[in-house]
Amino acid sequence: MIDPFDKAELWRSRAAELRTIADRMQEPDARFGLLDIAAGLEHHAQSLEDMAVRLRCTGRVFRGSATEVVIETVD
């Protein structure tokens, strides 16, 4: 079972890594580029969590592989 909250945590971890790398960058354009990507990953993580909350409130469950998400209703 795929949990979107776990995926969100993974995206946040990747964003943190990018921010760490950006802090060491000397080139301002490269630094800002990495920080922009990190912000996008944070936004993606928040969207996953929002979706998960909405689906759990409607009684749906997640199943599938890491690359496939199938959403079905719980009877």
Task: State pLDDT tens for residues 12-27.
Answer: 999 999 999 999 999 9
pLDDT digits 0-9 by tens, 28-52: 999 999 999 999 999 999 998 888 8
DSSP string, the chain: ---HHHHHHHHHHHHHHHHHHHHH--SHHHHHHHHHHHHHHHHHHHHHHHHHHHHHHTTEEEES-TT--EEEE--
* Global confidence as pTM: 0.69
For residue 21, report the phi and psi dihedrals to the nearest 5 degrees. -65, -40
